[in-house]
């Protein structure tokens, strides 16, 4: 499987895509939101009179309307987190800067924008809680109904941790590490067009990326059934996970439509709104980490305390408090681990999945641990990784996950060859002697794909979610082409191309005989509760569903061909003749076209033989990965199906005067199992690398002590562009998965690789200055503070060795 040109591109680059804002009508009403300027404030009153009097304004919604017309959103968290009252806008207290407190509905977006500035809100500012670790002290409780800021907490332990520490030659202690908030800044912010129909049903056209789950959150607050919700998507300009939990904005538009005579209501998010009040990637602090090692650097055990900051409302959380467990040991053969995992609310924007949700943070922590241990023990970065990598596959982790395939040492060797490792090993010391700050770093990351939603029961035993599934429809069109619809939600990854390619190869015809209906639509009967694009599941669940549907369709087509040709089915094969898709009997040179098969079933039906009278040539297949519900007491079980991997290596140099960071060389090697389409995989790796590099060096959500977001525009939040990208040396290693029909694994979560790698490279460059890279984001100003000791609470790393230091190598 190699693939060819992307079939989406011709439509998209010519401006013929179908995005939410492409739907235009004079009947549409438009929403502009009034957002809280305070991170934490009681809403004492809202004066909407002046805004309501503006010509063209149809309605102004406030929290009073929301409280009267809806119930709080259901929570994934158990109590006390389940007691949090989360509405689509603030009903009494605003809990993050940018939380909606009112919505102006008008006949044009411009009128709505002007009128929104006339809404007067009386606030009583409250103390803001900005740090999750401090939030756990409950000095200021954000949600009185819950009575605590602690959303979730538990200890995850596997193996013999204390025994491993007792037997260790070396113990390394790291007091604090921190993974920062950032986004992936999709080209298209969130958008929705909602109509509350007179019959009580909702029609939602939006760009949410997990519609099957979103429907479960949208319907209950409105008191309607999920079956009364039609949700559909078309083209989406990027997502990367952060469009999964934006259902509050859909609900605002639904209420507006109901109150405005059931007219369609549209909301198009502006960039500042997206940065301030959409969803941020998870922020996590790692405290009191201890590492037990042998004299040669093999890690025996880790114990640590982790605190997640989920922002003002949990929403998709506390799933992040368990999803990291898909990659408990990272790429390493670590068997003993104890993590005290806590999650707290703060007066910040709620978080959402963002390219490697929860796993990215945990693997960054593990990569910092192994890198800092290597520096402390004087063991080279490649050597200490080589000594700890998983040695063979399949590999069962301490918590029961099964790494399906891979070769991490070979990936690292390929990356070393691409970056010219031996050259830099000679060049770096030479440049350092000349006073230059230069370093090299390695980062290995895992891309666990196709979630077992049964892991949700580890954080909440009452969770209704288990397993995973995806559905596809396949039918034979009247012209002999095969039409395939699947419940995935593509956001630029090339789903149409890959789906058509896989279906055509199974049918043994050219891909132009296959029509793919992209996007999601509940009325198309191609969805399950797990439908959507997230967690690298398209290559497994969506293609698995398509593979099953095509197989069923081929079975029906073969039965019709048997009747038309009068020949045994086991002697027939699919293929092409003179540009026509056919089923052939090669021995006799007889064949029947796909179009003739379609006509026999759909139009020539008067004398159908009994053998084929029940055939429809329109089939539905549900693919379900082979999952079981995890053991909730042991927190043990297979939490995901496939494990792709990437190894990155970077060489960086820091200007000692300006503290600017330059990437001198960069290599990335990807293993996503059997490659279906090389050009798409290459593009995905480059895109993920861009996101990771941007996050590591440029992109960071920073709040001040009062909860003001200081990076709420592209003037302050600096997204990476092609101008900032280094030249990337790319390589691919194929290790087919034994768990998928085609050996392919997901590969969309690799954005963490550059964060791990650049942290390691900066550490190498600054280690001789006594600097510890304890933050996942390092800007030139951060480097200046580190070099001049200007940062508060600098991280320290302690090493206790039971043997003579000179024998540790």
CB 658 within 8 A of CB 787: no
pLDDT in tens, 211-245: 988 888 999 999 999 999 999 999 999 999 999 88
pLDDT higher than threshold 70 for residue 807? no
Q: What is the DSSP letter of 82?
A: G
Q: What angle do CA 80, 702, 283 make, to 5 degrees?
A: 40
156 and 171 inside one domain: yes
pLDDT higher than threshold 50 for residue 288? yes
- Give the separation between CA 100 and CA 256, rounded to whole angstroms: 14
Range of the domain at 302: 151-183+279-454+630-807
- Give the separation between CA 449 and CA 493, rounded to whole angstroms: 15
Residue 138 lies in a domain: no
Pair of tokens at residue 123: 């606030």
pLDDT higher than threshold 50 for residue 1? no
482 and 512 inside one domain: yes
Residue 425 lies in a domain: yes
- Give the separation between CA 448 and CA 670, rounded to whole angstroms: 13
Residue 421 lies in a domain: yes
Tell me what pLDDT residue 804 has. Answer: 44
108 and 210 inside one domain: yes
Q: 3-state DSSP call for residue 206?
A: strand
Across 583-604, b (16+ Cβ under 10 Å) vs e yields bbbeeeebbbbbbbbbebbeee
- Give the separation between CA 382 and CA 623, rounded to whole angstroms: 40
Range scoring the smallest mean pLDDT among 237-251, 375-389, 446-460, 786-800: 786-800
Residue 353 lies in a domain: yes
535: nearest Cα among 489, 485, 472: 489
Task: Choose the final residue of a domain: 235, 268, 301.
Answer: 268
Tell me what pLDDT residue 4 has. Answer: 64
CB 274 within 8 A of CB 35: no
Tell me what pLDDT residue 110 has. Answer: 98
pLDDT in tens, 58-103: 999 999 999 999 999 999 999 999 999 999 999 999 999 999 999 9
- Peptide bond just before 318 cis, omega within 30 deg: yes
Tell me what pLDDT residue 750 has. Answer: 85
Residue 295's contacts (CB-CB under 8 Å, 6 or more residues apart) are 169, 170, 803, 807, 808
pLDDT in tens, 290-326: 999 999 999 999 999 999 999 999 999 999 999 999 9
Mean per-residue pLDDT, 393-416: 98
Ramachandran angles phi, psi of 671, nearest 5°: -130, 100
261 and 289 inside one domain: no
- Give the separation between CA 17 and CA 37, rounded to whole angstroms: 36
Q: Confidence class of residue 692 from pLDDT cuts 50, 70 and 90? A: very high
Residue 412 lies in a domain: yes
Q: How many helices (H) and strands (E) does the chain have?
A: 21, 29
Residue 740's contacts (CB-CB under 8 Å, 6 or more residues apart) are 539, 540, 544, 641, 642, 673
390 and 318 inside one domain: yes
Ramachandran angles phi, psi of 437, nearest 5°: -95, 100
Strands 29-35 and 265-268: parallel
Mean per-residue pLDDT, 334-354: 97
Tell me what pLDDT residue 808 has. Answer: 44
Task: Choose the final residue of a domain: 268, 302, 335.
Answer: 268
- Give the separation between CA 259 and CA 59, rounded to whole angstroms: 8
Pair of tokens at residue 743: 């050996």
CATH code for position 117: 3.90.1170.50
Residue 140 lies in a domain: no
pLDDT higher than threshold 70 for residue 791? no
411 and 287 inside one domain: yes
477: nearest Cα among 373, 555, 566, 593: 593
CB 638 within 8 A of CB 402: yes
Q: 3-state DSSP call for residue 801?
A: strand
302 and 356 inside one domain: yes
CATH code for position 600: 3.30.365.10
- Give the separation between CA 500 and CA 515, rounded to whole angstroms: 7
CB 420 within 8 A of CB 727: no
Residue 143 lies in a domain: no
302 and 413 inside one domain: yes
- Give the separation between CA 284 and CA 178, rounded to whole angstroms: 6
Residue 184, classified by CB atoms within 10 Å of its CB into exposed (0-12), middle (13-18) or buried (19+), is: buried
253 and 336 inside one domain: no
Q: For residue 123, list its beta bridge partners.
A: 43
807: nearest Cα among 382, 511, 379: 379
Measured N-to-C along each axis, helices 359-377 and 752-766 cross at an angle, to the nearest 10 degrees, of 20
643 and 752 inside one domain: yes
Q: What does the chain come to in residues? A: 809
> Which segments within 36-113 are labelled E, that is strand?
41-47, 57-62, 93-94, 100-106
- Give the separation between CA 263 and CA 251, rounded to whole angstroms: 15
Task: Choose the final residue of a domain: 578, 598, 623.
Answer: 623
Pair of tokens at residue 517: 């209906």
Q: 3-state DSSP call for residue 649?
A: strand
Element (H, E) at 156: strand 150-158
Mean pLDDT (the chain) is: 95
Tell me what pLDDT residue 792 has. Answer: 63
pLDDT in tens, 612-645: 999 999 999 999 999 999 999 999 999 999 999 9
Q: Confidence class of residue 809 from pLDDT cuts 50, 70 and 90? A: very low
pLDDT in tens, 141-169: 999 999 999 999 999 999 999 999 999 99
Residue with tokens 């600096």: 718
Mean per-residue pLDDT, 502-529: 92
- Give the separation between CA 645 and CA 684, rounded to whole angstroms: 13
Across 631-669, b (16+ Cβ under 10 Å) vs e yields eeeebbbbbbbbbbbbbbbbbbbbeeeebebebbbbbbb
Strands 482-486 and 514-517: parallel
pLDDT in tens, 636-659: 999 999 999 999 999 999 999 999
The total of structural domains in the chain comes to 3
294 and 427 inside one domain: yes
329 and 391 inside one domain: yes
- Give the separation between CA 616 and CA 753, rounded to whole angstroms: 48
Mean per-residue pLDDT, 581-603: 95
Residue 68, classified by CB atoms within 10 Å of its CB into exposed (0-12), middle (13-18) or buried (19+), is: exposed
Tell me what pLDDT residue 527 has. Answer: 85
pLDDT higher than threshold 70 for residue 739? yes
Element (H, E) at 347: none
Residue 4 lies in a domain: no
């Amino acid at each position: 499987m190699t693939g060819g040109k992307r079939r989406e591109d011709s439509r998209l680059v010519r401006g013929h895509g179908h995005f939410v804002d492409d739907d235009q009508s004079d009947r549409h009403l438009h929403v502009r939101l009034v957002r809280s300027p305070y991170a934490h404030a009681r809403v004492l009153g809202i004066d909407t009179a002046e805004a309501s009097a503006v010509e063209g304004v149809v309605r102004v919604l406030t929290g009073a309307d929301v409280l009267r017309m809806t119930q709080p959103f259901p929570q994934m968290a158990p109590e006390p987190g389940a007691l949090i009252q989360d509405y689509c806008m603030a009903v009494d207290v605003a809990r993050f800067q940018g939380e909606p407190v009112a919505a102006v509905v008008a006949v044009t977006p411009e009128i709505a924008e002007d009128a929104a500035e006339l809404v007067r809100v009386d606030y009583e500012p409250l103390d803001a809680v900005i740090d999750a670790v401090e939030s756990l002290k409950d000095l200021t409780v954000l949600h009185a109904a819950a009575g605590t800021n602690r959303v979730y907490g538990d200890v995850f332990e596997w193996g013999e941790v204390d025994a491993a520490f007792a037997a260790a030659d070396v113990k390394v202690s790291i007091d604090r590490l921190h993974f920062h908030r950032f986004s992936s800044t999709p080209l298209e912010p969130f958008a929705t067009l909602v109509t509350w129909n007179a019959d009580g049903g909702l029609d939602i056209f939006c760009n949410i990326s997990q519609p099957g789950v979103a429907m479960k959150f949208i319907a209950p607050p409105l008191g309607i059934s999920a079956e009364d919700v039609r949700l559909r998507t078309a083209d989406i300009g990027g997502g990367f996970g952060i469009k999964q939990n934006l259902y509050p904005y859909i609900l605002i538009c639904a209420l507006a439509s109901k109150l405005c005579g059931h007219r369609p209501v549209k909301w198009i998010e502006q960039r500042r709104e997206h940065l301030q009040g959409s969803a941020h990637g998870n922020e996590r602090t790692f405290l009191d980490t201890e590492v037990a090692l042998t004299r040669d650097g093999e890690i025996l055990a880790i114990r640590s305390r982790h605190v997640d900051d989920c922002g003002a409302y949990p929403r998709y959380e506390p799933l992040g408090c368990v999803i990291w467990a898909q990659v408990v040991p990272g790429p390493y053969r670590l068997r003993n681990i104890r993590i005290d995992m806590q999650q707290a609310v703060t007066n910040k924007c709620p978080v959402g999945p963002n390219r490697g949700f929860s796993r990215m943070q945990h693997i960054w922590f593990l990569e910092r641990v192994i890198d800092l241990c290597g520096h402390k023990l004087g063991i080279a970065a490649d050597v200490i990784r080589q000594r700890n990598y998983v040695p063979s596959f399949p590999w069962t982790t301490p918590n029961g996950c099964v790494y399906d395939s891979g070769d991490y040492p070979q990936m690292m060797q390929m990356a070393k060859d691409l970056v010219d490792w031996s050259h830099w090993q000679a060049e770096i010391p030479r440049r350092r002697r000349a006073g230059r700050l230069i370093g090299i770093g390695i980062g290995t990351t895992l891309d666990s794909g196709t979630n077992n939603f049964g892991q949700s029961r580890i954080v909440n035993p009452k969770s209704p979610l288990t397993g995973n599934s995806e559905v596809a429809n396949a039918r034979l069109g009247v012209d002999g082409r095969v039409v395939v619809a699947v419940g995935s939600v593509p956001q630029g990854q090339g789903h149409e191309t890959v789906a058509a390619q896989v279906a055509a190869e199974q049918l043994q015809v050219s891909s132009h005989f296959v029509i793919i209906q992209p996007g999601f639509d509940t009325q198309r009967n191609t969805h399950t509760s797990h439908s959507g694009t997230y967690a690298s599941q398209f290559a497994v669940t969506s293609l698995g569903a398509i593979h099953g549907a095509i197989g069923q369709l081929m079975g029906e087509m073969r039965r019709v061909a048997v009747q038309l040709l009068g020949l045994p089915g086991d002697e027939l094969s699919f293929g092409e003749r003179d540009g026509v898709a056919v089923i052939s009997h090669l021995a006799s040179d007889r064949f029947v076209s796909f179009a003739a098969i379609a006509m026999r079933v759909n139009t020539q039906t008067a004398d159908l033989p009994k053998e084929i009278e029940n055939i429809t040539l329109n089939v539905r297949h549900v693919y379900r990965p082979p999952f079981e519900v995890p053991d909730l007491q042991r927190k043990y079980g297979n939490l995901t199906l496939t494990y792709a991997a990437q190894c990155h290596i970077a060489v960086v140099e820091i200007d000692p005067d300006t503290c600017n960071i330059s990437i001198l060389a960069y290599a990335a090697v990807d293993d996503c199992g059997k490659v279906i389409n090389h050009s798409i995989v290459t593009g995905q790796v480059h895109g993920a690398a861009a996101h990771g590099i941007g996050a590591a060096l440029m992109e960071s959500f920073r709040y001040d002590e009062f909860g003001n977001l200081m990076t709420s525009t592209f003037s302050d939040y600096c997204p990476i562009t092609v101008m900032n990208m280094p030249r990337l040396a790319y390589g691919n290693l194929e290790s087919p998965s034994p768990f998928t029909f085609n050996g392919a694994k997901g590969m969309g979560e690799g954005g963490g690789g550059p964060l791990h790698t650049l942290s390691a490279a900066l550490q190498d460059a600054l280690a001789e200055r006594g600097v510890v890279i304890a933050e996942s984001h390092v800007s030139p100003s951060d480097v200046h503070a580190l070099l001049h000791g200007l940062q508060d609470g600098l991280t320290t790393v302690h090493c206790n060795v039971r043997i003579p230091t000179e024998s540790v190598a």
